[in-house]
């Protein structure tokens, strides 16, 4: 079983005619994802990648029955694209755009309040349910259908965990890249709630990194809920210097609370199984499930 997406998910792409969108959506189609159209204002009525293009998200949803959107829109316009999809009540929006202005994301978060949309990203690798649906920019050659749910702030480590859980013959139920920008949509707690409620997800991997307090919030949730399913966590950036951005906009440890060690300690104290090396995440999950 999967969370959020499956073989029946119908996807539109905002910004479909752009170079990056064309590249990745063509691969999503080849993977088997039901991509049903695109949205590019001013280009409605055209076709691209064999798909109809619409002027607005609302028009695309009405015409195609889409229930998910992939937003490939440059940072200055990304917030408007996300808000348009939220106002059209698209159940799931995946935004891959990196470094959307923080004040713009404050407006997006306000639009999400009380609505029907779940937002993954921005600065997200995307979401994949092996063999069924892929929305985003992640590679898919190592994924295998299985029973481990993955939520990760890091795109590269997400791919590493997918490869490791496949090698350990555990596979993945769904892998979610929650995004690396400082203000984003779904967080670790949202993902944990979904995976813990999914009867076919046997364990959850969380991949965190320096910056923010998402890992501490996850630790508080684990401590309060005491889940029967094991949670394996890894936090990158243990030796990263303070007040220096490492990689992307969200990996910045300033003003306390964002360091790797305090995140590790919080997760371990809450009952998560903390892998000491990124190379040991899959093996750690296998050991915990065996016990």
CB 184 within 8 A of CB 122: yes
Q: How far is CA 224 from the centre of its chain?
A: 24
Q: From its phi and psi, is residue 179 left (phi > 0), alpha (psi between -120 and 50) or beta?
A: left
User: Of residues 48, 184, 248, 273, which has the active-site annotation?
Assistant: 248
Integer Cα distance of 12 and 56 in angstroms? 11
Extended strands (E) in the chain: 10-14, 34-39, 47-48, 51-54, 68-71, 92-95, 118-120, 126-129, 133-136, 145-152, 172-177, 203-209, 231-236, 273-274
Backbone angles phi, psi at 231, to 5 degrees: -120, 120
Strand arrangement, sheet containing 92-95: 47-48, 51-54, 34-39, 10-14, 68-71, 92-95, 118-120
From CA 23, how far away is CA 26, in angstroms rounded?
5
Signed CA dihedral, 177, 149, 159, 283: sign only: positive
Are the C-beta atoms of residues 135 and 126 closer than 8 Å to each other?
yes
**Catalytic residue at 142?**
no
CB neighbours (10 Å) of residue 242?
A: 12
Residues carrying an active site annotation: 248
């Amino acid at each position: 079983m999967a969370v959020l997406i499956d073989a029946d998910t119908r996807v539109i792409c905002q910004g479909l005619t752009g170079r990056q969108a064309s590249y990745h959506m063509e691969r999503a189609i080849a993977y088997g994802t039901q991509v049903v159209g695109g949205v590019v204002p001013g280009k409605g009525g055209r076709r691209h990648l064999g798909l109809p293009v619409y002027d607005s998200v609302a028009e695309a949803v009405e015409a195609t029955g889409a229930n998910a959107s992939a937003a490939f829109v440059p940072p200055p316009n990304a917030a408007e694209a996300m808000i348009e999809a939220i106002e059209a009540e698209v159940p799931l929006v995946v935004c891959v755009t990196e470094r959307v202005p923080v004040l713009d994301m404050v407006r997006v978060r306000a639009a999400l309040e009380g609505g029907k949309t779940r937002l993954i990203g921005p600065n997200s690798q995307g979401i994949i349910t092996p063999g069924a649906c892929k929305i985003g920019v992640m590679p898919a050659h190592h994924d295998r259908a299985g029973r481990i749910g993955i939520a990760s702030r890091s795109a590269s480590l997400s791919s590493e965990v997918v490869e490791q859980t496949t090698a350990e013959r555990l596979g993945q139920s769904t892998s979610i890249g929650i995004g690396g920008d400082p203000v984003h949509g779904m967080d670790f707690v949202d993902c944990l709630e979904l995976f813990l409620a999914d009867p076919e997800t046997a364990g959850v991997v969380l991949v965190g990194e320096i910056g923010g307090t998402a890992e501490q919030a996850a630790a508080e949730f684990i401590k309060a809920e005491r889940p029967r399913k094991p949670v394996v966590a890894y936090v990158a950036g243990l030796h990263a210097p303070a007040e220096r951005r490492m990689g992307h906009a969200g990996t910045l440890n300033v003003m306390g609370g964002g360091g790797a060690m305090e995140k590790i300690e919080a997760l371990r104290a809450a009952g998560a199984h903390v892998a000491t090396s990124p190379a040991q995440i899959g093996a750690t999950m296998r050991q915990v499930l065996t016990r």
